[in-house]
Amino acid sequence: MPLSHRRESAHGSRSIARLTTGALTLALLSSTLVTAGPAAAADPIYKDPAQPVAARVNDLLPRMSLNEKIGQMTQGERASVSAADVTTYRLGSLLSGGGSAPNPNTATAWADMYDNYQRSSLATPLNIPLIYGVDAVHGHNNVRGATIFPHNIGLGATRDPALVQRIGEATAKEVAGTGIDWDFAPCLCVARNDRWGRTYESFGEHPEIATSMTSMITGLQGSALNQPGSVLATAKHWIGDGGTTGGKDQGDTQISEAELRSVHLPPFREAIARKVGSVMITYSSWNGAKLHGHKYLITDLLKNELGFTGLVVSDYNAIDQIDGQPGFTAAEVRQSINAGIDMVMVPAEWRKFIDLLRAEVQAGRVPMSRIDDANRRILTKKFELGLFEKPLTDRSFTGTVGSPAHRALAREAVRKSQVLLKNANGVLPLPKTASKVFVAGKNANDIGNQSGGWSISWQGSSGDITPGTTVLQGIRAAVSPQTTVTYERGGNGVDGSYQAAIAVVGETPYAEFNGDRPGGLGLDAEDLATLNRLKAAGIPVITVLVSGRPLDIAPQLPDWTALVAAWLPGTEGNGVADVLFGDHKPTATLPVSWMASAAQQPVNVGDGKTPLFGYGFGDRFPATQSPYSLIGASYYDEQRGTDVQRCTDSGCGQNVGWLAAGDYLAYADVDFGATAPRTVTTRVASGATGTGTLEYRLGSPTGPVVATVSGASTGGWQTWQSRVANVSGNATGVQRLYLVAAGGGGANFVNVNWFQFAR
């Protein structure tokens, strides 16, 4: 039975080999870099898909020359490798670094590029296919038009491994649809200091979260690697990169082995249990020793003790860091390979790597047993992926890139990742029927900012980088057609007539190294100025924080009525609006401790420090509201014909005005309890000549009346009186309460500030 159904036929690798030009054949024969392996049998075992993988590897390895084996261990970057290079040097792997894409950057162009390289690999004497890797770390994020999911920190907030597995499945389909076989994801680091620029790549500060989210691996790899739409997953970065001193990227994790094993190892143990196909080594050091040359951690611990049988790959140019000097050397090549690295990512200088490794093997400083072990691991994964049978892109998946179904899944992930941190007076959810809502902030209408780093380019960038829905667009789609949504990035023009202001602020895109913040972690000057303008308007301010980590916001928090941590949601900003306007309730909890100040870093659960918000915290919308507490009139969830304005007397806040006969306000889930109230106090103001009434009704605008309040003139539209009315009828249990205007001669006759029932 064939091992693979995931790729189209290569249409005959022997035919492709016959198409090789005479010049290329001559170059191959005369090259000192490549020597032919043993003569192939007429029907070699390694080409028989009915044979077990181990038998196929055992058959292929003796047929390979040293140069072919070294080629398999070499991974170059597409921008530095031609199709002819793949054939000439027998390269085993290519990658696209962040932002390295074909032109045009479309799914079809990616598939065409991949197939072109793959055909070149099949033109080699042994027809060993390439394996092509890419950092699809939150969806297929290098491809314009692909679905970009929330970054890992947001997924960690969901506490939903099943959701993350579905995201893995969707990502795998989009990746496979562009030909790519290998995803450098998921990142299983445990981030212990928010100053680290890769914090958003972590699922959280505690190993329990990353361990549970290894479900991503199952989603990416499927039930078997040779199944349609499956790709090879990568557990990264081995090991301890989230624990560097000071949160410094590529720094030194100065901890005991006991802590390394208890905090940073558990997610990798679970990844191996899920049969992850590859592991990538971290740039960082452990107690002064670079991981890329650390035989104890790579061979003794990862391969031998934990029993990892997949392939170990280096990070981008990382072997060059072993000696701390620019330019990788023979000693660095020797140390990294002998430490247990199977494939080396050398983007541009791959020819130099091939020469140095060959010389080290020929000199006996790297044993052939190590070369064969590396090749056995690499070839095993290629056979398991079914690349020998169906090496070209399965175009049936190309159309899934950015599909409506995948975007709907991303929107679900966004709304499930929103963490409600503050919600004074129950301001959230906002009413969809509000007459006016103000939106501000640099991250409100910017796909690039809300997607963060590793989005189309390595560091990410602001602006219209790829199709999607901004948070502002999501807000506009959520509200009623009668609601006016005003957007001004800096908050200019806001006034007291708006029911609320939504400030979408936070970080702009960054990735590793550039994202480190050894200084402060506060909001920038633009955000602070925007927030101050909104505060001065005297209306509720709902702050939506778009960021890759907690920020130092304790000084500003008292000025905000509500705070939502939106993390880096990706392309589907409508998921943020889903929560703000109550279509879905917030369910997420913090995957990290939220600092009381930047000086507190590092702060983690169990360390005895008191954070602003603790690990696992997440507020909820109240199931009910009490009528025996003061209810602000402007905190309705439905209205007809009214408007909101700022009160002029001190401490009044907002009032609802312009009420005329038939206008109403509605309040959901008002719990009167088993005993009905006796009275209701309503704070009103009126400068009208006509007199109307305010009726409290249950269930609908025409439901039973339980109280009636006079709307007679108080002597001015901001001259307030508290009027008490008796309550009758069956005002018990949980009710939808309506405040309905009646009479008044058809004109506006009253403003309402608040009301409160009493028994």
- Residue with token string 């907030």: 157
Distance of CA 466 to the CA centre of its chain: 15
- Which is the catalytic residue, given 205, 249, 389, 512? 512
CB 684 within 8 A of CB 723: yes
What would the two tokens of residue 65 be?
């020359």
CB 451 within 8 A of CB 612: no
User: In sequence order, what are the beta bridge partners of 734?
Assistant: 671
Residue 592 exposed, middle or buried by CB count within 10 Å (0-12, 13-18, 19+):
buried
606-609 contacts at long range (C-beta below 8 A, 24 or more positions apart): none
**CA dist., res. 477 & res. 36, Å (int):** 64
**CA dist., res. 82 & res. 119, Å (int):** 12
Write a three-state SS string for 653-711. Answer: CEEEEEECCCCEEEEEEEECCCCCCCEEEEEEEECCCCCEEEEEEECCCCCCEEEEEEC
- Which is the catalytic residue, given 181, 315, 389, 663? 315
What would the two tokens of residue 227 be?
């199944």
Measure CA of the first residue to CA of the last residue in the chain; give whole Å: 77
Residue 637 CB neighbour total at 10 angstroms:
19
169 is catalytic: no
CA nearest to 234, candidates 323, 315, 118: 315
- Say whether 1 sits in a helix, a strand or coil: coil
649 is catalytic: no
**CA dist., res. 446 & res. 723, Å (int):** 48
Write a three-state SS string for 148-183. Answer: ECCCHHHHHHHCCHHHHHHHHHHHHHHHHCCCCCEE
Radius of gyration, CA atoms only, the chain: 31
- Say whether 433 sits in a helix, a strand or coil: coil
CB 95 within 8 A of CB 117: no
User: In sequence order, what are the beta bridge partners of 707?
Assistant: 696
User: In sequence order, what are the beta bridge partners of 698?
Assistant: 737
Distance of CA 334 to the CA centre of its chain: 37
**CA dist., res. 44 & res. 123, Å (int):** 17
- What DSSP string runs through 2-57? -S--SSB--S-HHHHHHTS-HHHHHHHHH-SS----SPPPSS-GGG-TTS-HHHHH
In order of 98, 216, 282, 315, the CA distances from 347 in angstroms are: 12, 27, 17, 10
**CA dist., res. 124 & res. 86, Å (int):** 9
The residues near 503 (Cβ < 8 Å, ≥ 6 apart) are 440, 441, 444, 491, 527, 530, 531, 534, 541, 542, 543, 544
- Say whether 229 sits in a helix, a strand or coil: coil
> Is residue 569 reached through a cis peptide bond, with omega within 30 degrees of 0 on the bond before it?
no
What would the two tokens of residue 480 be?
């009623």
**CA dist., res. 104 & res. 392, Å (int):** 20
Dihedral, 558, 416, 486, 482 alpha carbons, nearest 10 = -120
Q: Which sequence positions are flagged as catalytic?
A: 315, 512
